[in-house]
A and B are shown apart, each in its own frame.
Chain A
Amino acid sequence: MKETTPLANKESFTSKFSKKLRNAIFVDGATLKSTAKAYLYLLPALIIIVVFSIYPIFRSLQLAFYTDFNFFTREGFETGTDNFTYVLNSQTFHLSLRNTITFVIGVVPLTIIISLMIALAIHSVAKGTAFFRSIYFLPHITSTIAIATVFQWIFHTQSGILNYILSWFGIDPIAWLGHPDWAMPALIIMSVWSNLGFGTVLLLAGLQTIDKGLYLAAKVDGAGKWHRFTTVTLPMLSPTIFFLSITSVIGSFRIFGQIFALFRGPGTANSALTVVYFIYQQFWEVRNIPRASAAALVLFAIIFAITLVQMAVGKKLVHYK
């Protein structure tokens, strides 16, 4: 037997301890040198995230409480909660919130349902899945300005193709972009269309992971097409649908660019004024940065609360493997 002196034991104890400590700090096999190198690679992205995301979050939190603020010198003096009181009591803010909620309720279900229908159609074609997937992904990578420009033509009251098609059914020309009642539907149509690419590709990927055997089993168990859809496709796709619903709710609450591009303003009689547009107006038109910050925080709180509710509901409805 090999003899072990107390000293050797002590050494092995300290080396064990330092090893444990190293494992706690570094990932398997990482050394101080390799970790420093990794930080160096992470640094450029980290700087950009800190400057454009992290810092503004804290800065807006601070700005929102200034009741006396100089727009030009960016200096704040007195603080209080007046900005929140203003925003929460503002008729315009209420309108913008109603418009935003209408938009979200219109866009999210339509995006998911239509994306799912397209994904199912692409999934059922025997050949050319990759081709169709690429085609339907195009809207996602097309610039908002380009999409809005095309839709301005589609929605044009006199020469637009949409009104031309509607005329076949005897429907009089609609002032899609000019009339306050039609601005929101027009915005929803365009947004659904530009969201379809992402939704379709995501759901298609989800469909491809479903075990084909489940469909055969359901068939043998006597399930027709509809029941196979409800007992196999929907539950197996629920994590994907859930993910899509969370990202599109958050994305839709942040709607701004499309409005700016489509209406070149908040729409007739503020008919397309959303919360982010309201924030933009407070910032650049009213030049009240603290008030814009307060509105942004209110929007953040709303999105956060809705996401929490979605997570709670999702826990019950979503099946994870």
Chain B
Amino acid sequence: MNIQLQNLTMAFNNNPPTLKGINTTIKDGQLASLLGPSGCGKSTTLMLLAGLYKPTEGKILFGDKDVTNKEAEHRGIGMVFQNYALYPHLSVLKNIMFPLKMKKVPKAEAIERATKMAKLTQIDHLLDRKPGQLSGGQQQRVAIARALVKEPELLLLDEPLSNLDARLRLEMREEIRRIQLEVGITTIFVTHDQEEALSISDKVILMNDGEIIQEASPLDIYKTPNSIFSATFIGSPPINMIKDGDKILGIRPENLKPTAEANSKFSGTVTYRETIGRDTLIKVKCGENTLNALLETGDIVNFGDTVHLTAEKENIYNFDASTGRRV
């Protein structure tokens, strides 16, 4: 089922709009991330998709059906909340069965479908437990099973990994992708973590200040940022931004290479050096700019050395300093 947002606008009680007329399409079976800093409107967009908020203007289409004015309980979507929102008094099995109970599915069938979902999310050994007896990752799995059990055509995930510790976050992020591909469900994933968005999505929708800045595949949004915002929000360590007249040059740290003095574009002293596993990051003070460069194994550079750096022309992004757009 394709999801279309047309001129979607949301303003709360006469405040300036938090969402300023966004347009996008998420294709059937895709996993799309709504990415952006807090307050950018990504969660509002998700709440509008769920039907928990009603837009001030604009339309939401599920397939060719206009669902803009449909209540959340009739939209038939699955949603995983940031704090999971499991019913604390119900067992895992009853939590997963709840959406089926609301659809008046016969009990035997409901138990069967819920158990199947629990197997898919690998929590079938915990069915009798209460949510309070589960770890964060297990609760997350219950929430996913509950969202998927009614076989919705759209799955919404609201910052689902932000309450987990770093290790579990990596594990659950792969799990979400595995389950999404296995079920083949159209999925919209809200996150403020660019790495999360880049790692599991088919499409990244980058938002800021109530507007969509750029939407593209993870690789395209990384390689061809359309604006300063896009370039600086995505990538770790962050992109180098160098002022050059009325232009700003953006160079990703891994694209800065050590070179001979004659070919160098930037020269300076190494003020910082750290090696994490296979990566070595150095900071080089070149005049008023401090550049980050990620070195390859074999490039030996020490603190206090003078280094000369260059970058391929296609890896230098030019931005207009006044508009912030790519030129």
- Measured CB to CB, the residues of A under 8 A from B are 211, 213-214, 216-224, 227, 231-232, 235-236, 238, 319, 321
CA gap between A294 and B82 in the complex, in Å: 60
User: A216 near B89 (CB under 8 angstroms)?
Assistant: no
Chain B residue numbers with a CB within 8 Å of A218 are 87, 98
User: A214 near B87 (CB under 8 angstroms)?
Assistant: yes
Interface string of B134-167 (1 = CB under 8 A from A): 0000000000001100100000000000000000
User: B83 near A220 (CB under 8 angstroms)?
Assistant: no
The distance from the CB of A275 to the nearest CB of chain B, in whole angstroms, is 37
User: A214 near B85 (CB under 8 angstroms)?
Assistant: yes
Interface string of B88-110 (1 = CB under 8 A from A): 11100000001100110000000
When C-beta atoms are compared, the residue in chain A nearest to B50 turns out to be A220
- Which of A216, A223, A224, A235 contacts B85, CB < 8 Å? A216
User: A219 near B52 (CB under 8 angstroms)?
Assistant: yes
User: A222 near B89 (CB under 8 angstroms)?
Assistant: no
CA gap between A211 and B132 in the complex, in Å: 14
Which bucket holds chain B's interface residue count?
Answer: 20 to 34
CA gap between A77 and B89 in the complex, in Å: 58
The secondary structure that dominates the A interface is: helix
Stretch at the interface among B54-62, B70-78, B265-273: B70-78
- Which of B73, B87, B88, B90 contacts A219, CB < 8 Å? B73
- Which of A214, A223, A321 contacts B73, CB < 8 Å? A223
- Which of B50, B52, B82, B87 contacts A231, CB < 8 Å? B87
Chain A residue numbers with a CB within 8 Å of B90 are 231
- Interchain pairs with CB closer than 8 A, number: 68
For the complex, is B229 an interface residue (Cβ under 8 Å from A)? no
Chain B residue numbers with a CB within 8 Å of A227 are 102
The secondary structure that dominates the B interface is: loop
- Which of B50, B86, B103 contacts A222, CB < 8 Å? B103
User: B99 near A221 (CB under 8 angstroms)?
Assistant: yes
The distance from the CB of B132 to the nearest CB of chain A, in whole angstroms, is 8
The answer to whether residues A221 and B98 also contact, given A213-B85, A231-B87, A319-B88 and a CB cut-off of 8 A, is yes
User: B88 near A222 (CB under 8 angstroms)?
Assistant: no
B72, B86, B90 interface centre (most CB from chain A within 10 Å) = B72
When C-beta atoms are compared, the residue in chain A nearest to B152 turns out to be A220
The distance from the CB of B50 to the nearest CB of chain A, in whole angstroms, is 6
For the complex, is B79 an interface residue (Cβ under 8 Å from A)? yes
For the complex, is B81 an interface residue (Cβ under 8 Å from A)? yes
CA gap between A217 and B89 in the complex, in Å: 14
Chain B residue numbers with a CB within 8 Å of A211 are 83, 85
Chain A residue numbers with a CB within 8 Å of B76 are 222
The answer to whether residues A222 and B150 also contact, given A319-B88, A321-B88 and a CB cut-off of 8 A, is yes
User: A235 near B89 (CB under 8 angstroms)?
Assistant: yes
Chain B residue numbers with a CB within 8 Å of A214 are 85, 87
When C-beta atoms are compared, the residue in chain A nearest to B99 turns out to be A221
The answer to whether residues A222 and B73 also contact, given A217-B81, A231-B98 and a CB cut-off of 8 A, is yes
When C-beta atoms are compared, the residue in chain A nearest to B77 turns out to be A220
When C-beta atoms are compared, the residue in chain A nearest to B146 turns out to be A221
Q: What 9 pairs across the A-B complex have the smallest Cβ distances? A: A319-B89, A222-B102, A217-B85, A213-B85, A221-B99, A235-B89, A219-B72, A220-B79, A222-B73
